[in-house]
């Protein structure tokens, strides 16, 4: 096949008919976090009572290779060194209190797949990723421990609830965050190791569960098998495949995977393929559009959002109610999750700006109470408070927050009714 030069300006946005390139500005891969906004100065009557944090893991090896693109070396001996300051031991428990470690279907798939040049496995947190999540933990320590004094400088097991997806990079990211927040204290603490809770992959709600949730399964796999159903994707896919000398009649290129490979290389300062470098921004935007279609539904219908994020929203609200009633002692919930966790969370509150969440991005839900015990909620993304609801306010009453979430809300019990092939630990 004769290779032709790719001209991004020829690709038109199906919505506005302007060149697609203007919608594809490439953003930093690593989260650019602003200085955390303190408690609102115009509401001195409010007291912080509960913090729920959902953060993405750090840099990792790619999930899969792009056919036609030369591999780089992911050296298993040099790229995964864990310095002493990054180490923090922990125990793994299932949600029902059973001690682990527990079998991970996702991790097993990575280990069984062909290793990359250099011997590394897929989807593994690198030393860079460990340091990124350690930096994130330092940020939490400075704000919630040192500045606000919301948390004790010594690790208190009754204050913090830790949860992660049962994926090695996420568990390790959690431990690096803990090392930054409480590393020295945990080395001398005699009360046992921190407990990180994981759920069985068949009932996981910390990401859209495409494998077991029937409504999501139908939409997700029909889209990934034919991404051309997403407006504007077909011309991009065909031109990228032409650049890679691929026959589009034999291969339906997954642009989300292409984007993943590009981002993993860029995060670790590996050179990009000369073919993909000039179109990295366009591939990025196409990948976002595909994921929006999978997560929210076709034609911006948002029909899938209740299944993608509804049970997680239910958990967030339940945690608020348990904190108010005193049913739960925890005042700091830390969740190690994924980009596909943050996307639907941002969509649900109306704050997704079509930018793929960077490494170590964090979404925070803070609950306050006034002197009469009335609860209020504030949301932050990358340290910046989000202005939400019809009035665009930075802080909502709990009822206003619940009303904002209502179109995407589904209880965890109703979500479980949509699951198939459910297993337990």
Check if the beta carbon of residue 8 is closer than 8 Å to that of residue 24. Answer: yes
d(CA 205, CA 201): 9
Q: Point out the catalytic residue in the list 57, 200, 268, 293.
A: 57
Q: Which among 361, 346, 337 is positioned nearest to 206, based on CA atoms?
A: 337
Alpha-carbon distance 259 to 111, whole Å? 22
Please give the Cα distance from 416 to 259 (Å, whole number). Answer: 32
- Alpha-carbon span 276 to 19, nearest angstrom: 18
Residue by residue, DSSP assigns 62-118 as -SSPPTTSPPPP-BTTTS----GGG----EEEETTS-BS----HHHHHHHHSPPPTT
Q: Find, among 261, 290, 292, 289, the residue nearest to 277 by Cα.
A: 261
| CB contact at 8 A, 82 and 173 | no
| Residue whose entry in the numeric block shows the structure tokens 């005042």 | 331
Is 339 annotated in the active site?
yes
Please work out, in degrees rounded to the nearest 5, the angle formed at the alpha carbon of residue 410 by the alpha carbons of 407 and 416.
155
- Report cis status (omega within 30 of 0) of the bond before 66: no
The active-site residue out of 75, 318, 339, 414 is 339
Number of C-beta neighbours around residue 341 at 10 A? 25
3-state secondary structure of 277: helix
Active-site annotation, residues:
57, 339
């Amino acid at each position: 096949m004769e290779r032709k030069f790719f001209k991004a300006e020829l690709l038109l946005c199906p919505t506005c008919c302007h060149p697609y390139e203007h919608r594809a500005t490439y953003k930093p891969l690593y989260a650019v976090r602003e200085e955390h906004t303190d408690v609102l100065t115009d509401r001195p009557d409010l007291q912080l009572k509960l913090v729920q944090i959902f953060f993405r893991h750090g840099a990792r090896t790619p999930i899969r290779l792009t056919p036609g693109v030369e591999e780089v070396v992911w050296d298993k001996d040099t790229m995964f060194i864990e310095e002493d300051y990054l180490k923090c031991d922990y125990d793994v428990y299932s949600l029902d209190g059973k001690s682990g470690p527990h079998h991970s279907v996702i991790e097993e798939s990575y280990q069984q797949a062909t290793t990359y040049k250099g011997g590394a496995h897929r989807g593994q947190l690198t030393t860079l990723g460990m340091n990124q999540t350690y930096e994130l933990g330092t940020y939490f320590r400075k704000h919630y421990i040192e500045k606000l004094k919301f948390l004790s400088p010594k690790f208190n097991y009754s204050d913090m609830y830790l949860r992660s997806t049962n994926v090695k990079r996420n568990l390790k990211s959690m431990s690096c965050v803990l090392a930054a927040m409480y590393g020295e204290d945990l080395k001398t603490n005699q009360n046992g190791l921190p407990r990180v809770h994981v759920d069985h992959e068949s009932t996981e709600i910390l990401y859209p569960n495409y494998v077991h949730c029937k409504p999501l399964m139908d939409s997700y796999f029909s889209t990934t098998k034919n991404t051309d159903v997403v407006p504007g994707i077909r011309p991009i896919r065909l031109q990228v495949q032409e650049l890679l000398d691929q026959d589009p009649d034999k291969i339906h290129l997954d642009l989300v995977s292409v984007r993943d490979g590009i981002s993993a290389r860029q995060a670790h300062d590996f050179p990009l393929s000369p073919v993909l470098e000039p179109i990295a921004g366009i591939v990025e935007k196409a990948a976002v559009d595909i994921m929006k279609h999978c997560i929210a539904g076709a034609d911006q219908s948002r029909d899938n959002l209740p299944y993608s994020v509804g049970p997680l929203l239910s958990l967030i609200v339940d945690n608020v109610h348990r904190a108010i009633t005193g049913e739960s002692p925890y005042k700091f919930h830390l969740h190690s999750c994924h980009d596909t966790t943050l996307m639907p969370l941002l969509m649900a509150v109306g704050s997704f700006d079509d930018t793929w969440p960077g490494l170590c991005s964090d979404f925070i839900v803070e609950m306050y109470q006034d002197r009469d015990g009335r609860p209020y909620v504030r949301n932050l993304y990358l340290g910046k408070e989000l202005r939400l609801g019809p009035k665009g306010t930075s802080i909502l009453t709990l009822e206003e927050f619940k009303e904002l979430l209502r179109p995407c809300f589904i209880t965890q019990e109703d979500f479980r009714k949509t699951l198939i092939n459910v297993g337990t630990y």
